[in-house]
Amino acid sequence: MTTITLEVPDKLAKDIESLRAELPALLSITRELFRPASDRSAHTSPMYRAYKQMIDFLALPPSTATTLQFAFPPDIQKRTTELLAKNGEGLLNETELAELNVYAQINQVMSLKKAQAARALSGS
């Protein structure tokens, strides 16, 4: 593994100190999500597309019915299932674990939105 030295503000250094072991995975995920559009492989990973689909969906006020029907495409669901299976077997590397955490965060947001929509639909 290569060592990289960065100069960061003192406050940031203090904030990320507890994440030291996770920084390589976080950098990998950040690079995946924020590649320049000129990069031919940008915006093609299931993780990026899941994140973008959620943001695009929430940017427009969806109807209650549309919110309840929201689902990711099969390839994104398949990738999530693969990562969950590997995680259950204890076989995830740091990057895969970080990727799974992104999917978990997206799922948490969308589950909350669906619960709110279901409650609105039931009139509670």
Split at pLDDT 50, 70, 90, the class of 91 is very high
**Which tokens go with 104?**
């978990």
Classify residue 44 by its DSSP letter. Answer: -
Give the whole-angstrom CA distance, residue 79 versus residue 103. 10
**Which tokens go with 8?**
């960061």
**Which tokens go with 66?**
């549309």
* % of the chain exceeding 90 in pLDDT: 39
Average pLDDT rounded to a whole number, residues 39-61? 83
Packing angle, helices 94-122 and 74-88, rounded to 10: 120
CA nearest to 64, candidates 2, 3, 5, 122: 122
What are the sequence ranges of the domains in the chain? 22-122
The whole-model pTM stands at: 0.68
In the predicted structure, residue 34 carries a pLDDT above the cut 80: no
Split at pLDDT 50, 70, 90, the class of 83 is very high
Average pLDDT rounded to a whole number, residues 14-29? 81
Split at pLDDT 50, 70, 90, the class of 86 is very high
